[in-house]
């Protein structure tokens, strides 16, 4: 039987200073699977932000579950999403929840794709209360062209590794700037995001031991819409794809702060 451990955030933070960069609620002694390969569904409309998919842990099953990437309506103008990440420390993989804020913070160097290349965000920026999308990394054919620009993003990481630190993990430490951002006011996940994860944890097909890293629901157009016609399944990475956890032509990756042009 797989072994796991739930522990208090303060204990884990004491064991590993890196973990103090974000809220920690859970730790596991089993490494999360590689990130699956999937395309991005079309954006539902203006004001939506892409939140990458990630592996979550279900203690009742002792297994990882894939939480699909999805478009989330920004909770307020100027809000940017910093993805959560798994980080190794003190002998365990600890999960750091993502958060909303005015700046993109540290997310372990994990290359989630679609503009989240491990550092910052190159998917767009806010301008006078409207979000302007980089179509080179976003599937934004459904929105006003006035809110779209095109800026090439250079792939900086071809890895599908889903965690920071430890054996085989991404080797990237937070900078002083990251530490400053981590101390700024942050907004927690929206209710829709929490529900989205809850649905994932109750859907057996999302379970890693069932889908073997290839979930049939890898991405959804909106939180919780697991039966939408725009649901995207994971697929095998193409040999020529430089960024294997997302499909061309909606590439991603690279450095950024969320404001590029």
Q: What is the pLDDT of residue 145?
A: 87
CA distance 155 to 132: 21
Label the pairing between strands 85-89 and 163-164. parallel
Within 10 A of 158 (CB to CB), how many other CB atoms are there? 13
Over residues 103-127, the mean pLDDT reads: 96
Q: What is the pLDDT of residue 144?
A: 83
Q: How confident is the model at residue 127 (pLDDT cuts 50, 70, 90)?
A: very high
More confident residue, 231 or 12: 231
Q: What is the pLDDT of residue 12?
A: 34
Over residues 57-74, the mean pLDDT reads: 96
Determine what percent of the chain is predicted with pLDDT higher than 70. 80
Q: Which of 21-25, 104-108, 239-243 has the highest mean pLDDT?
A: 104-108
Q: What is the pLDDT of residue 228?
A: 86
Measured in degrees and rounded to the nearest 5, phi and psi for residue 224 equal 80, -5
Q: How confident is the model at residue 154 (pLDDT cuts 50, 70, 90)?
A: confident
The predicted model scores a pTM of 0.84
Q: How confident is the model at residue 157 (pLDDT cuts 50, 70, 90)?
A: low
Q: What is the pLDDT of residues 27-40, one digit of tens each?
A: 788 999 999 999 99
Q: Is the pLDDT of residue 256 over 70?
A: no
CA distance 75 to 6: 30
User: Residue 18: how many CA atoms within 13 Å on its side-chain side?
Assistant: 22
Element of type H or E holding 72: strand 69-73
Over residues 148-169, the mean pLDDT reads: 86
Residues in a beta bridge with 99? 82
Q: What letters, b where the CB count within 10 A reaches 16 and e where it falls short, cover 107-139? A: bbbbbbbbbbbbbbbbbbbbeeeebbbbbbbbb
Label the pairing between strands 48-51 and 69-73. antiparallel
DSSP 13-31: HHH-GGGGGS-EEEEESSP
Label the pairing between strands 148-149 and 130-134. parallel
Q: What is the pLDDT of residue 261?
A: 38
Q: Which of 202, 190, 210, 164 shows the shortest CA–CA distance to 70?
A: 190
Element of type H or E holding 197: helix 191-201
Q: What is the pLDDT of residues 6-26, one digit of tens each?
A: 333 333 333 333 333 345 567
Report the residue count for the chain. Answer: 261
Q: What is the pLDDT of residues 190-218, one digit of tens each?
A: 999 999 999 999 999 999 999 999 999 99
């Amino acid at each position: 039987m797989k072994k796991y451990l739930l522990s208090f955030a303060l204990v884990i933070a004491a064991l590993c200073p890196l973990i103090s960069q974000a809220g920690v609620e859970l730790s596991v002694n089993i490494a999360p699977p590689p990130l699956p390969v999937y395309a991005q569904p079309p954006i539902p409309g203006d004001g939506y932000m892409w939140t990458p998919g990630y592996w979550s842990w279900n203690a009742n099953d002792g297994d990882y579950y894939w939480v699909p990437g999805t478009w989330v309506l920004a909770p307020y103008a100027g809000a940017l999403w910093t993805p959560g990440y798994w980080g190794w420390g003190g002998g365990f993989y600890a999960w750091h929840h993502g958060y909303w804020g005015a700046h993109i913070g540290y997310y372990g160097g994990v290359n989630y794709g679609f503009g989240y290349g491990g550092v910052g965000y190159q998917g767009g920026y806010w301008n006078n209360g409207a979000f302007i999308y980089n179509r080179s990394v976003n599937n934004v054919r459904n929105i006003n062209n006035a809110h779209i620009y095109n800026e090439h993003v250079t792939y900086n990481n071809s890895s599908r590794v889903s965690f920071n630190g430890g054996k085989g993990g991404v080797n990237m430490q937070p900078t002083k700037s990251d530490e400053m951002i981590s101390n700024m006011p942050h907004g927690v996940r929206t209710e829709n995001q929490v529900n989205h994860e809850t649905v994932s944890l109750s859907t057996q097909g999302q379970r890693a031991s069932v889908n073997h890293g290839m979930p049939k629901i890898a991405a959804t157009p909106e939180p919780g819409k697991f039966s939408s016609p725009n649901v995207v399944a994971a697929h095998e990475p193409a040999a020529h794809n430089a960024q294997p956890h997302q499909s061309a032509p909606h590439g991603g990756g690279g450095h950024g702060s969320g404001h590029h042009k």
